[in-house]
Every structure is written in structure tokens, then in C-alpha cells.
């Protein structure tokens, strides 16, 4: 464990004054979290939490930031970024309580990492290089950092907690750096057909566990295809989810005009309405244009 300096807690009056100060900034937020986690006077729920129990909220808040950006909901983004910042403050407080790290050491570590990884900005290297070369240099520096952590295998350090599609792409990128990659999308598409056939065979003849394995293989190849086509699969799937939600809402709207819901309809009618919503979507119309 690092030898962290112990910062004496504020006296009750100073603590209350800081928490009540709307201009208290980051120190105010850190003090709020310290008070929430205080074993004697804090919130029982917050006191019970640990790294594992908070981690899902951290992932959720990151997704909500991405969602606000995708929807260009700039009026919501400020709040979502605050929620995400709170997650860092929460983990830092728990780290301080355990003597592992604190908010100061967290910010110091990321600041030093950014300086070390940008020698063309903060050091003596030239900025006269392409973004591709800068990306390659970034990966080279990261590889050296992993070597210093005894992460000497190609796939070491790819976080287990990443969304599965994102982690698949990162694993494939790492393998591609050492030549383990198909040369073009043609081979990936061939593999996609092969895995699709194996999934059909598994559905018809194998156990549910084997079906899940084959489905995973198919998804892994889909992630590889996305990488070869320079598509972020998470972004693409989020967009598809948004499109589905938007079009299905139009189906509900049209059915509501006749006093019905989807439960009162059938697949044939809803499929026709889906095609209508699709045509409307493609034309960029917000309302149906009935002749």
C-alpha cells in the first residue's frame, strides 16, 4: 500500500460550512462523500457499500454520459458528468478508508500518465506527425507501461469489466498488432457465414450451453467485422436500439389513434406499420403524411 498522508477531518462547524457553500467546488463534494461514509453519522446505505457494489453504478453512469452525448442532450450532460464524477469520488473515499489511495493520489497518477503519454506536447518530441503515428506512439508507450507491471502477455491488461463487445474489439486489436488478424473483411465475412451455420447446427442438435458458446463465437466475429470496417460496435448497436425504440413508438402512436395498443394488434399489422415508420424515418419526417 502507498504511504498516504493522513488529512485530518474538518471540525463539525467547518464541515457544515463547506457542505453548505454552493461555491465549495471539488472540496465540497469530497467532504460530502466523507460525511456520507462516516461510520457514526453517515448514511447507512453509503456506509455499507464497497468497491464491488458501487462498480455497476459506475458503469451505468458512464453509459448515461454516452447516451446524453449521442442524443445531443446538452442540457442533461452536465448532470450526467456530475454523476460520473461522483463515482470517482466514491471509489477514492473508499480507497482512502482502506489506506489504498485517495482522491489526491488518483488525480496525481492520471496527470502524470497524461504527461508521460504526450511527449510531443509536454516533452521534446515533435508535434509534426500524423494522428496515426500518434496513435502508434501511444500504444508503444502503453506497452512499455504494461511491461513495467509484468504484463508481458499480448492480451494482458484488457479490462474484464468492459462491455463485452468493446472488450472483444480491444482483444482483437492487441492480437492484430502481432500479426494475428485476417488481411481483409472477405475472410471475416467467410468466418461469419461459418459461425452462423454452426449456430444453426447447435440450435438443432446441441445443448443450450453449446448454443450459447456458438452464439458467443458469432458475436465475437461480428465485433471483428466491425473493427475491420472501422465501426464501433457499441455505438452502432446503441444507434440501432434508438432507431428501434423510435420506430416502435410510432407503431404505438398509430395504434393509439384507433384506441388500441400493440397487445390489441397482430404481427402482420404491426409489420405494416413498422414499414410505414421506416419509410417515415428515412424521409426524415416527424409526422406521417397521409394522402
The CA angle 234-73-226, to the nearest 5 degrees, is: 15
CATH code of the domain made up of 164-231: 1.10.287.1080
In Å, what is the CA distance from 186 to each residue of 168, 189, 232?
Answer: 19, 5, 19
Q: Of 126, 123, 125, 157, whose CA–CA distance to 139 is shortest?
A: 157
Matching fold, domains 12-116 and 164-231: yes
CA atoms within 13 A on the CB side of 156: 13
Residue spans per domain, the chain: 12-116, 118-148, 164-231, 234-283
Distance CA 139, CA 174 (A): 10
* Global model pTM greater than 0.85: no
**Contact at 8 Å (CB) between 167 and 159?**
yes
Non-local (6+) Cβ contacts of 142 within 8 A are 117
Q: 12-116 belongs to which homologous superfamily?
A: MazG-like (1.10.287.1080)
> CA 97 from chain center: how many Å?
27
Could you give the maximum distance between any two Cα atoms of the chain, in Å? 75
- Concatenating the DSSP letter of every residue in 1-26 gives ---PPPPPPPPHHHHHHHHH-TT-HH
**Contact at 8 Å (CB) between 217 and 174?**
no
Distance CA 191, CA 111 (A): 43
Q: What is the pLDDT along the chain (291 residues), one digit of tens a residue?
A: 445 555 567 888 999 999 999 999 999 999 999 999 999 999 999 999 999 999 999 989 998 998 899 889 999 999 999 999 999 999 999 999 999 999 999 999 999 999 988 888 898 888 887 877 877 777 777 777 766 666 678 888 888 878 899 999 999 999 998 899 999 999 999 999 999 999 999 999 999 999 999 999 999 999 999 999 999 998 899 889 989 999 999 999 999 999 999 999 999 999 999 999 999 988 875 554 443
**Contact at 8 Å (CB) between 37 and 129?**
no
Orientation angle between helical segments 185-205 and 208-228, nearest 10 degrees: 170
Distance CA 220, CA 172 (A): 9
Question: Nearest 10 degrees: CA dihedral of 218, 223, 226, 230?
Answer: -160
Amino acid at each position: 500500500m502507498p504511504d498516504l498522508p493522513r488529512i485530518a477531518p474538518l471540525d463539525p462547524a467547518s464541515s457544515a460550512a463547506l457542505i453548505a457553500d454552493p461555491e465549495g467546488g471539488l472540496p465540497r463534494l469530497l467532504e460530502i462523500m466523507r460525511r456520507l461514509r462516516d461510520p457514526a453519522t453517515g448514511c447507512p446505505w453509503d456506509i455499507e457499500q464497497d468497491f464491488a457494489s458501487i462498480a455497476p453504478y459506475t458503469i451505468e453512469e458512464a453509459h448515461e454520459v454516452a447516451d446524453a452525448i449521442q442524443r445531443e442532450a446538452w442540457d442533461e450532460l452536465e448532470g450526467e458528468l456530475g454523476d460520473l464524477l461522483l463515482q470517482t469520488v466514491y471509489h477514492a473515499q473508499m480507497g482512502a478508508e482502506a489506506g489504498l489511495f485517495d482522491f489526491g493520489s488518483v488525480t496525481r497518477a492520471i496527470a502524470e500518465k497524461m504527461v508521460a503519454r504526450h511527449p510531443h506536447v509536454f516533452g521534446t518530441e515533435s508535434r509534426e506527425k500524423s494522428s496515426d503515428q500518434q496513435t502508434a506512439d501511444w500504444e508503444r508507450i502503453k506497452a512499455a507501461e504494461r511491461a513495467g507491471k509484468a504484463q508481458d502477455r499480448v492480451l494482458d491488461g484488457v479490462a474484464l469489466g468492459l462491455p463485452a463487445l468493446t472488450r472483444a474489439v480491444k482483444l482483437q486489436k492487441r492480437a492484430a498488432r502481432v500479426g494475428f488478424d485476417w488481411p481483409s473483411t472477405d475472410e471475416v465475412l467467410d468466418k461469419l457465414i461459418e459461425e452462423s451455420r454452426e449456430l444453426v447446427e447447435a440450435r438443432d442438435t446441441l445443448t443450450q450451453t453449446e448454443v450459447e458458446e456458438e452464439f458467443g463465437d458469432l458475436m465475437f466475429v461480428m465485433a471483428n467485422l466491425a473493427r475491420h470496417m472501422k465501426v464501433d460496435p457499441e455505438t452502432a448497436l446503441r444507434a440501432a436500439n434508438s432507431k428501434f425504440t423510435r420506430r416502435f413508438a410510432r407503431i404505438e402512436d398509430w395504434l393509439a389513434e384507433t384506441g388500441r395498443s400493440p397487445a390489441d394488434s397482430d404481427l402482420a399489422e404491426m409489420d405494416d406499420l413498422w414499414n410505414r415508420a421506416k419509410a417515415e424515418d428515412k424521409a426524415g419526417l416527424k409526422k406521417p403524411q397521409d394522402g
